[in-house]
Chains A and B, each alone.
Chain A
């Protein structure tokens, strides 16, 4: 091939590559393949963080107990939900309305169960009185993981939580989300960037030692 043809070709390819990488740095909606930013999968039960963490103000670590003590924050087991949902079966105003209607019609109020919570009760094999029904079979609740790191990257929540990092730093304003969405890059560059700036500036005024050794995450 002629020299100029080769150079042109190479320049075009290089330009294309640069464009691809640069665009994703400036745009929220475009990302390189493999980067899941913006991922918002449909979950088996439409659990709303906006309601529980935002409106009701439940702390993240109340349910995600693993964050402080383990590598994985974990998705709470059904018994954590049942702490409240033993009693709370539907939105408050619906229950109120039913109570008022019952008083008006002079009958006992019926138990109202929201369809999403019904999914929880069915998974646990509970009957209408929310007691374990021996004939019903327990099934799993198969949540879809939103924040996924590749297998060769080992992330430990403990180190970050004990460094007083807010959950929102990486997970975004989850308390405003109806459905959980990945708002951060979660690329290695993004992680290392934060490690470097934390080492230099500290976290909330406290100095931290966020190692940038490879073996911190890859072992």
Chain B
């Protein structure tokens, strides 16, 4: 060593002298240091020091405490989940749910398979309700004039005010959304009866009042029928997005699906025609889609009615296309008398009356739609709402109680309403947060989240459901019924009130249980009870009413504006829910915003591109209404129609400004005004007792500004480039479908030729035990995205924010690819849920440098988070592009929101790759339980989160090595195929072709 050192020293001295020559400075210190301690020594020393310091950094593991219960409740075992049956309150449909609890808090909501309305499914909004529970924006205390207070003080002050009001002459109104709770309705009635002039006014922001009003005029009863899609062979939807947002989409999806199972010979499949003015989820799924503009609707319905009544003769060739289409439709409907169903989703009474007449002529009443055992999901009365607004303007209202609705936000002229509210002597709100309306309320009495309170529901006649708390209320809140009973002078607990109501009005409607307590116990356990429906007497059909229909819609020039609720946002009450904001819209695949949808022809004419902000001016509104929204170009949109979604631009969405990772180039997820999206409600119209969602004579102007829209599906065409075309497939056969005629002739139709290529892998890997596989039936899938949110809830998938979505970094493990296919001059939409395919010959497994992704003995492609170093080669190699990378540490600093995390799934940090694991935590749970019980895992015991939530039960998971399993049966079906099979990846996830009820034999098979 010394020999080398001397040499080195000599060399070093030479170098140092060179150094000195080159620099002007040379201090004595330099010389001293230079001779005994140079750069190399320094680096060597630094290296050792660093290593030494690093070693000392390795310390004893952290000290962790374990705090057991003092007195443990019997039903709770730490580490084991326990379940409660309850009812979802995401919308008015009243689907039954099962809530999974761990360690005292709910962590997952699932559909209740026994519930007659939802049959086990749960939509995206329902799944996202869990996040709404752990929301720190919810009011923690009741408020008086903006200052938090306690219930005692509030009750005292409010009851004093009520005493004053009772002596006065002014009216008292309770304005609420549709209330399906029998207890709440009874209590509201009692409360309002204590005033001289007390009335309950119900309106829904997305109103179905037209249907109720129409039935009053045509059948003498003001009801919303219960629609039975499962009994219909021919379904005609006129502007009704019944698979997406109309009334009860989970129920209707399950029912619709049951009519299209393709079982039997000839294969069972209903015929679905959709007539609509914008491309909706339901329209994309239809067998025939007919695009119209809203102003054509009434004349179309009139034409159809007169054809069915035999009043008009058949059209001859050469007549208008409307008549040709209607002729075909009338023929189909006539062939299915009593087994057809025509539904209309518009809120204008004229269209609804015509629809009633059509259904009456076809003999559908009592068969596919039931008014005697109706639905109570919507009870709105737009006329009463109009009267209330008139009363407000006339200063006739002494006290206004507002529950479950936000009129300042979701009604047209909301600003004016806000000012009117300021003039009402007493405004009481039951809102959960200070929204646009609660701002004007002197008293805010927040309600607990439905997951933490008792409630009851009778959403459809005869099915009474219970909501039970799954966690103690996280804030100091009180249910509506408790507040009302306190103000009536007889304070009771909400549980007591519900039990009393059930004892007096529900228990007597059933005969199974003789004892109320056992009936109650059984109902709480099941989550619902089926009791005798209150029969509504249907009057004779008044055919004259439908005949005198005059459409209020004038013929418009320019554009017609259609306002609609999105599948993920509904009427906007969930705008504060990050999961719902980030779910891509099933048709446009855009997240985080609303936009004005126009067709490509219209865009060309106006020289607009997607993202250009336009100004929509509704000229005939007084005062004129303008909306500034970015444009989205959408195939399938009629050229004269522009549509904008409701539910955006809500106060409170400022919270999303910093939701994404905060880095140098990160941008906020909110618009320039600080909110997500634009409120389109000012463009609604409340006219003649109808809340109308269409406007004519709308002008579009460019503003010159742009706004990026975060779309998750930016690849537009899957046509095979000419260079790669092998001469057979014009389009890459990613999604395959066939017509019913082709399928009936050959069940393999559409599933495509099997590609055989050279493979370096052995023919078949051996699986001695279970072999997990999944199959997705594209014929059932409607693209509703319930699976996406369910997966997000189950697997702790963070929200990344709009900017990250713009960079294609959304983290959803399952995505729904949406394809448009030209058909017959119009458009078909096909949806294909894509998750990790768990390939046998996985391209990702071979390229991981640290073996963080390997294949399990049971066929799963495992992702081991603690081993992953973030090379991203696996995502590069994946042909399906389902691997998601954590580019940042997504914020988990909201302690309340962290309660939503599933303790069985690792929360991934920055630099980790993640992907669908086929819910391996659920697989292991069931395997270990089975092992403990000494049995084999039953088929169907393991349900992945996506499978469990699907309203159409399109996804099936199971053991492919079990000859009796459902998944094996479906994979053996001739409709099954694998995506990108030609790459020889041998995926464990299969798909089944979609079959549309069409009569063409050719031209529709194996389309991409």
Contacts and interface: CB of A to CB of B under 8 A. Distances in A.
B906 interface: yes
Contact of B920 (A2, A66, A151, A219): A219
B857 interface: yes
A215 B68 CA distance: 29
Interface stretch (B76-84, B357-365, B553-561, B892-900): B76-84
A219 B4 contact: no
Contacts of B77: 65-66, 69-70, 74
Contacts of B8: 2
B70 interface: yes
- Pick from B64, B69, B862 the residue with the most CB of A within 10 Å: B69
A169 interface: no
B869 to A, nearest CB: 14
A76 interface: yes
A86 interface: no
Contacts of B905: 219
A138 B70 contact: yes
Contacts of A152: 865-866, 906
Contacts of B70: 77-79, 123-124, 138, 140-141
Given A141-B70, A145-B64, A215-B917, A33 B856 contact: no
B939 interface: no
A217 to B, nearest CB: 9
B924 interface: yes
B40 A1 contact: yes
Interface in B511-554: none
A165 B429 CA distance: 60
Interface in B68-92: 68-72, 77-80
B477 to A, nearest CB: 25
B186 interface: no
Interface string B858-874: 10101011110000000
A36 B68 contact: no
A74 B78 contact: yes
Contacts of A4: 1, 4
Contacts, number: 141
A154 B904 contact: yes
Nearest to A8: B1
Counting chain B residues whose Cβ lies within 8 A of the other chain, the interface size class is 35 or more
B906 to A, nearest CB: 6
A214 interface: yes
A219 B916 CA distance: 11
A209 B860 CA distance: 17
A172 B42 CA distance: 50
Contacts of B932: 68-69, 158-159, 161-162
Contacts of A213: 856-858, 860, 862
A41 B78 CA distance: 23
- Pick from A69, A124, A161, A214 the residue with the most CB of B within 10 Å: A214
B769 interface: yes
A97 interface: no
Given A154-B904, A219-B905, A77 B65 contact: no
A211 interface: yes
A40 interface: no
B313 interface: no
B921 interface: yes
Interface string B909-942: 0000000010011001000110110100000000
B61 interface: yes
Contacts of A141: 67-68, 70
Contacts of B424: none
A96 interface: no
B864 A215 contact: yes
Interface in A4-42: 4-5, 8, 33-34, 36, 39, 41
Contacts of B4: 2, 4-5
Contact of B68 (A78, A162, A216): A78
B601 interface: no
- Pick from B62, B72, B865, B904 the residue with the most CB of A within 10 Å: B72
Given A213-B856, A215-B920, A219-B906, A159 B931 contact: yes
B980 interface: no
A198 to B, nearest CB: 13
A8 B5 CA distance: 14
B58 A33 contact: yes
Interface string B813-857: 000000000000000000000000000000000000000001011
B769 A209 contact: yes
A110 interface: no
Nearest to A153: B866
Given A138-B70, A140-B70, A141-B70, A218 B866 contact: yes
A74 B866 contact: no
Nearest to A139: B70
A130 to B, nearest CB: 14
A71 interface: yes
A128 interface: no
B79 A66 contact: yes
B263 interface: no
Given A5-B1, A41-B63, A76 B80 contact: no
A200 interface: no
Given A65-B77, A156-B924, A214 B864 contact: yes
A214 B854 contact: yes
Interface string B1-40: 1001001100000000000000000000000000000001
A193 B944 CA distance: 31
A70 B932 CA distance: 10
Interface string B38-73: 001000000000000001001111111111111110
A179 B267 CA distance: 71
Nearest to A1: B40
Contacts of B931: 158-159, 162-163
A144 interface: yes
B72 A215 contact: no
Contact of A156 (B64, B66, B866, B928): B928
A142 B866 contact: no
A72 B68 CA distance: 12
A65 B77 CA distance: 9
Nearest to A156: B928
A161 B62 CA distance: 27
Contacts of A156: 924, 928
A74 B77 CA distance: 9
A112 interface: no
Contact of A142 (B55, B67, B72, B864): B67
Contacts of A124: 70
A143 B66 contact: yes
A65 B78 CA distance: 10
Contacts of B71: 77-79
A191 interface: no
A77 B66 contact: no
Interface string A57-92: 000000001101111101111111000000000000
Contacts of B63: 41, 144-145
A71 B79 contact: yes
- Pick from A41, A153, A161, A216 the residue with the most CB of B within 10 Å: A216
18 contacts: A2-B4, A8-B1, A34-B58, A39-B60, A70-B80, A74-B78, A76-B68, A124-B70, A143-B65, A143-B67, A145-B66, A152-B865, A156-B928, A158-B932, A211-B856, A213-B860, A218-B867, A219-B921
Interface of B: 1, 4, 7-8, 40, 55, 58-72, 77-80, 769, 854, 856-858, 860, 862, 864-867, 904-906, 917, 920-921, 924, 928-929, 931-932, 934
A-B pairs with lowest CB-CB distance, top 4: A33-B58, A70-B79, A77-B72, A152-B866
Interface of A: 1-2, 4-5, 8, 33-34, 36, 39, 41, 65-66, 68-72, 74-80, 123-124, 138, 140-145, 148, 150-154, 156, 158-159, 161-163, 209, 211, 213-216, 218-219
Given A33-B58, A159-B932, 9 more contacts: A74-B79, A141-B67, A142-B66, A145-B63, A150-B61, A213-B862, A215-B924, A218-B862, A218-B864
